[in-house]
Structure 1
């Protein structure tokens, strides 16, 4: 009979190593004093869960599937480490009058408004603020002692990815709300049944299309609060549409957090520029063992620049010899009150 505190030589052991590309891999070693195989403990071993979760997240987020889906949502690029975000130069579709900070011309006249003619070149630059997407969560050992299944892991990963998507979109909405190229419009909040609200929202979006950067809703990505998703999806069901994107007729990206209103982002003029690391990966997934609290800390990170500051050259003199680059309103922000 084994006495208390008596040392017993381990009969088996298993190891779990998390290699996130850093020079200091983390992991754990489990020793067993009975003839128990590792595969019989997999469903209750938190290190197995963490390893499977991080590998699945890395395979998806740093794979071709995520890049294709990201490009379908919003125009974007994935640029090599150390390079700058790519600006765009696109021709305007219609005449537009723009106002700007007063500038003086050679005749000492103060000019604060100018005409941008169709055919003028708009060039875009990154906004002043880049976005660091960071999601950190903790997996406590005791929460998995009862075991887990493949389906519960899948549900957790799907919920995690949706949270990252919505939260990142909310941060982007916050940056765009103060960008020089964003013009604000205020409209009354529609009321009534979901179908009525959806119809009014589509009318509001349609009436506020910026004709200089697009001619129909299909030319835009609609960034909207997640609180409107349920209403629009219900309206889509009543209308026999597959989803709310078919209902609206434009790409839709919900966001969570502070309600900044709805944004009409022109597909041809705005983009996201994701920064790749030195290993070519956009996303960094790192798992760290926190022994003090008997848990694993998992962190997911990416950095993206928002190329949405539009500029155009406006004539300050009648002969056009003196021009000035001024902010051009490309993005429409609709606040509902």
Structure 2
């Protein structure tokens, strides 16, 4: 973003006074209202700031760069307007017993547990709850009176992008915590120094790898509460590796809000399905003038479906003639208890 600097600051203020002999003296004061103050190259116009903010955010969120980064963070798809989220059919890699709501077979036997054989096909569907990502902020005119620079604007944009990412992931974690295909485990919360805590957490995650949809932590995206980020960061420093992902050996996405524990999302399944608008954009960024508050209201929005309901057919009779589609645990949720 480049700000125009075409205004020359006056050396004196100009005040006009009108006295018509009555007790009421009128007049006017002229002062600098330019977009840019030439002596500091700092913008002072709220409208200019908002326009630059909206353009910067909208250009990034609807760019190919953002889509590539989103796909690296979590398995996702970007689908055209009016289309449905894409379900997948993935062949299981290992035998596994699945517990489900009791079903009755033809012999009037109640079956609550069935064997899923290796080579069976898992079907995925969207959850009953879709997510509307909506973030709103008001920028008051008086907060920009002191001026702003390009660097200050970009810092604000980067912070906004980070907040949106963490908050949206927290909403996704909430949906996943109650999804039928999420398998929940409780483990004692490790204690001690950061390096020891991080090592114990990695061991816990490793022990809960779902072998039917992955063979190692590298096959998963791990969602972690943001409170654990400093712990893993410090452990990474102690271990002499670049970052958290290098330490764990898997893609990591922090989230804010309620602590729902740690999640292991299999990379081979699309977890998120972003809806494009009719213009091809996923994100909508709009600014509205709020005259009553002398401010600009900015809203950033997107819609995404959570494709996390896995289903698989299990046999209810020994001969395999009667089968039933039941929820299949694909996502692992490890809750840490004190």
User: What is the CA-CA distance between 1:36 and the residue it aligns to?
Assistant: 7.2
1:132 aligns with 2:160: no
Residues 1-337 of structure 1 mapped to structure 2, 5 A cutoff: 1-3=16-18, 5=26, 38-40=35-37, 43-337=43-337
Q: Aligned equivalents of 2:116 and 2:35: distance in 1? A: 70
User: What is the CA-CA distance between 1:271 and the residue it aligns to?
Assistant: 1.6
Describe the SS at the equivalent of 2:142.
Answer: helix
Describe the SS at the equivalent of 1:203.
Answer: helix
User: Gaps (5+ residues) in structure 2?
Assistant: 1-15, 19-24
Q: Aligned equivalents of 2:90 and 2:135: distance in 1? A: 35
* Pair 1:327–1:39, CA change in 2 (3 A): same
* Pair 1:36–1:328, CA change in 2 (3 A): closer
User: What is the CA-CA distance between 1:319 and the residue it aligns to?
Assistant: 1.6
Describe the SS at the equivalent of 1:297.
Answer: strand
- Measured against aligned partners, the alpha-carbon deviations of 1:154-212 in whole angstroms (never above 9, x if no partner) come to 11111111110010000000000000001111111111111111110100000111111
Aligned to 2:6: none
Q: Aligned equivalents of 1:156 and 1:126: distance in 2? A: 34
- Measured against aligned partners, the alpha-carbon deviations of 1:128-157 in whole angstroms (never above 9, x if no partner) come to 100010100000000000001111111111
Aligned to 1:23: none
TM-score normalised by L of structure 1: 0.90
Contact 2:57 2:285 in 1 (8 A): yes
Q: Aligned equivalents of 2:322 and 2:120: distance in 1? A: 15
User: What is the CA-CA distance between 1:61 and the residue it aligns to?
Assistant: 0.2
Describe the SS at the equivalent of 1:106.
Answer: coil
User: What is the CA-CA distance between 1:2 and the residue it aligns to?
Assistant: 4.0
- Measured against aligned partners, the alpha-carbon deviations of 1:100-150 in whole angstroms (never above 9, x if no partner) come to 111111222211111000100001000110001010000000000000111
Describe the SS at the equivalent of 2:235.
Answer: helix
Aligned to 1:13: none
Describe the SS at the equivalent of 1:97.
Answer: strand
Deviates more, 1:217-226 or 1:99-108: 99-108
Q: Aligned equivalents of 2:325 and 2:27: distance in 1? A: 80
* Pair 1:182–1:145, CA change in 2 (3 A): same
* Pair 1:35–1:252, CA change in 2 (3 A): closer
User: What is the CA-CA distance between 1:270 and the residue it aligns to?
Assistant: 4.0
User: What is the CA-CA distance between 1:40 and the residue it aligns to?
Assistant: 3.8
- Measured against aligned partners, the alpha-carbon deviations of 1:284-325 in whole angstroms (never above 9, x if no partner) come to 001000111100000000010000100000111122111100
User: What is the CA-CA distance between 1:269 and the residue it aligns to?
Assistant: 2.3
User: What is the CA-CA distance between 1:334 and the residue it aligns to?
Assistant: 0.4
Describe the SS at the equivalent of 2:90.
Answer: strand
Larger radius of gyration: 2
* Pair 1:105–1:55, CA change in 2 (3 A): same
TM-score normalised by L of structure 2: 0.89
